[in-house]
Structure 1
């Protein structure tokens, strides 16, 4: 039924629309290509247009189903990849943690070894200092005795001997001061070098 609630009677080729009598009068009065509706719809179900539309609908349905299934497979693949990547991240973190544990253990071990080595050197220096202190104390005692009891010749000879000892002890003291500064530098430097050796050069996943 048309919008005028009448049966269709003609078909307007220009507007590609069926029309009733009133439609023709109102809007299609000037249209030239007008056919009787019965002639147009005769054998419509076997027409090429009808068959083409049927085939197009089937193809559209098939394509939509294929795309839908493809997107569903995409979701499955996405979830599978997510699980795989998540597992790899966890494994990588485990490797990193294990490496950091080994790195810490190795650094601490080398740090303790370096500290023990330097401590041994310092103890040897302390022993040498104590020996020097003992000799200087003896020299002071002898010097006091010379002041009180020795002759001028004895005092002169003893003075020369003590001067040589004092000069040697001053050189020893200077070497101790330099060595003390150097020891502190070496202790700090070795620790920094250990970190520089492990952190920049070794990758996280490389074994120790």
Structure 2
């Protein structure tokens, strides 16, 4: 149901809700008696509301007011619909961004998995290289060990059952072989190294600062509110006109003449009407 409002109860909020009794044409405002005394004492065109309201419904100000109300209601309805459509569109765009973030995440995971595969492949290559080097050292060591064992058997045999001459010959006969074996062992020990395998991790929190950013672009709304022309007073405001200047020519004797009217012609001459 429409809200019933007693328009006659509209009163002056500045002066204890005194009723509006006057209308100032100069300022185009309603006035209570206190407003009249305070702000419109020098105004030339002030009249009572009862007189000023004549023909108010047909006045341009009333027409403008009703058109403005309709215009505001229509525009607010358009704004509300536009904002609701905007909210729905923002929700759709936000969901699209969420999907895009998920895709970026999946791409990042695939990239990390590819990096993992490459890292493990590099690990296998380096491990196999180290192991192969150690196996080569083991093989060479076994060969040195076998040759040395042969020489050991010979010297043990000479030591237990051989003569001094045989011992002398054995020392000098195998001197170069023993020197070579010594050099080979020295070479192995001097070149021998030990590797350790560790992971040097890249801290993702430091290397990956962001997977993207949310950007907002702002443009003016398509809904525009064009103001209607300002409400006008239902009483026309007549601008004060300056009186023409007259040139004194002669005195007129009107003692025995009845003057019924007076006017000014286009030449700014005063004409008195006596008949």
TM-score between both structures, scaled by the size of structure 2: 0.53
Please list the CA deviations of residues 137-162 of structure 1 after superposition, one character each: whole Å capped at 9, or x if unmatched.
2212222334452444x544432444
After the TM superposition, which parts of structure 1 deviate over 4 Å for at least 4 consecutive aligned residues? 1-9, 12-15
Q: Is the 8 A contact 2:22 2:49 kept in 1?
A: yes
Q: Is the 8 A contact 2:20 2:30 kept in 1?
A: no
Cα distance in 1 between the residues matched to 2:17 and 2:169: 149
Q: Residue 123 of structure 1 corresponds to which residue in structure 2?
A: 135
Q: Residue 93 of structure 1 corresponds to which residue in structure 2?
A: 105
1:28 corresponds, among 33, 37, 41, to 37
Q: Runs of 5+ in structure 1 lacking a partner? A: none
Cα distance in 1 between the residues matched to 2:140 and 2:17: 126
Please list the CA deviations of residues 52-73 of structure 1 after superposition, one character each: whole Å capped at 9, or x if unmatched.
3233323322332232222212
Q: Is the 8 A contact 1:12 1:28 kept in 2?
A: no
Cα distance in 2 between the residues matched to 1:106 and 1:88: 27
Q: Residue 184 of structure 1 corresponds to which residue in structure 2?
A: 195
Q: Runs of 5+ in structure 2 lacking a partner? A: 1-7, 212-275
Q: Is the 8 A contact 2:130 2:195 kept in 1?
A: no
How is 1:28-177 mapped onto 2 (pairs within 5 angstroms)? Answer: 28=37, 31-33=41-43, 34-148=46-160, 149-152=162-165, 154-177=166-189
Higher helix share goes to which structure? 1
**Quick one: higher RCO (CA 8 Å, sep 6+), 1 or 2?**
2
User: By how many angstroms is 1:79 displaced?
Assistant: 0.9
For the pair 1:17 / 2:27, whether they are aligned, the reply is no
Cα distance in 2 between the residues matched to 1:8 and 1:142: 140
Q: What number of residue pairs does the alignment pair up?
A: 187
Q: Is the 8 A contact 1:10 1:35 kept in 2?
A: yes
Q: SS at the partner of 1:184?
A: coil
**Two-structure CA RMSD over aligned residues (Å):** 3.8
Cα distance in 2 between the residues matched to 1:179 and 1:133: 18
User: By how many angstroms is 1:6 displaced?
Assistant: 9.2
